[in-house]
Amino acid sequence: GPTNVLVLMADDLGWNGVSYHNPKMTTPALAKLAKEGVQLERFYGYPVCSPARSALLSGMMPRRFGVTGVVGPSQQGIPKGTATLASTLQKAGYTTSLIGKWHLGTNPGPLGYGFDHFYGFTGAEVDYFKHTNQRGQSDWWRDNKPVEEEGYTTTLFADEAIKQLKQRDPKKPFYLQVAFNAPHATLAAPKELTDKHKSDGLYNAVVDGLDQGIGRILAALDEQGLRENTLVIFFSDNGASRRMSANTPLKNGKDTVFEGGIRTPAIVRWPGKVAAGAALGTPTAHVDLFPTLLELSGAAKPRQVLDGESLLPLLLGKSSTLKR
């Protein structure tokens, strides 16, 4: 049947946020995923959150529609009526779900752009425990309804992803996008993680929590017998803020167009199709994921111009270059 898609997106995780680039980090689940899949060693995002998320979902350079920075609540990160990765797969029979961060405005929110389900927050950042935005207002939603819940965001997002995998309609393929807020500011972690990382600090504790959440989701995928027929993509929206983590040997960090701001760790796992443990040095980007998943799913191509290019020939070893 059609291939399922699981997108695992970190927020502000830079080049050195993963243990396979930096042994000081605790990311065993991501290190294992890197061994099981292909590492995209030159994967590019944008300097900040909103354009990266726009590019992923629209397949277009977000400057085409004026998104070059952070989108505010009443603004639109993607023009109304634009086909998105979610709406295109939804039309092709996929169940589509966004768990975690949206940050593309609330007029409309995720359900207006092709997601069947939304669980998470709409703005730039959220308090890891209180689920409030920078102004102290609650920003926690299930579909279009505000909800009050206790718990650590990373854990709650992983819990929800696992629940959806278990309760899914087995007759339909799924597009599940889990957009964690970790390790975005303002950093916070449960006591067991802060205790464990007393000597190496809060950033490492938050990233360890992120990795544990990802590990739990991947374990649920295995328990549901979905590993073989699910394409897993992991990446970050942009590089790390240099206050949190140096992006060395890449220059500078978040909010800049230097490599440290826009080049992030990325992995694609598709068992039996994509070479395990390989590393690709071809430049790839967020805008390429829509065309890639379009080809993978056989969904009808939308009318808009897609700026990205399908990475399937590259991932399947049929080509070592892209046309661009």
Determine whether 184 is an active site residue: no
Helix 289-297 to helix 49-58 angle (10° resolution) is 30
Q: What is the DSSP track for 260-302?
A: HHHEE-EEEE-TTTS-TTEEE-S-EEGGGHHHHHHHHHTPPPP
- SS3 of the chain: helix, strand, coil, percent, to 5: 30, 15, 50
* Backbone torsions φ then ψ of 50, nearest 5 degrees: -60, -45
Determine whether 286 is an active site residue: no
Identify the burial level of 38 via C-beta atoms within 10 angstroms of its C-beta, where 0-12 means exposed, 13-18 middle and 19 or more buried: buried
**Half-sphere exposure in the Cβ direction for 33 (13 Å, CA):** 32
CB 12 within 8 A of CB 3: no
Q: In angstroms, rounded to a whole number, what is the distance separating the alpha carbons of residues 201 and 206? A: 9
Helices (H), the chain: 28-36, 49-58, 85-91, 153-167, 191-196, 202-223, 259-262, 289-297, 312-315
Token pair 């030159």 is found at 42
Q: Give, in order, the Cα–Cα distances in Å from 162 to each of 2, 129, 222, 231.
A: 20, 20, 11, 16
Active-site entry in 103, 131, 184, 286: 103
Helix/strand/coil for 56 = helix
Active-site entry in 49, 131, 197, 286: 49
Q: In angstroms, rounded to a whole number, what is the distance separating the alpha carbons of residues 230 and 54? A: 23
Beta-strand runs (E) in 73-130 = 95-101, 117-121
Residues serving a catalytic function are 49, 103
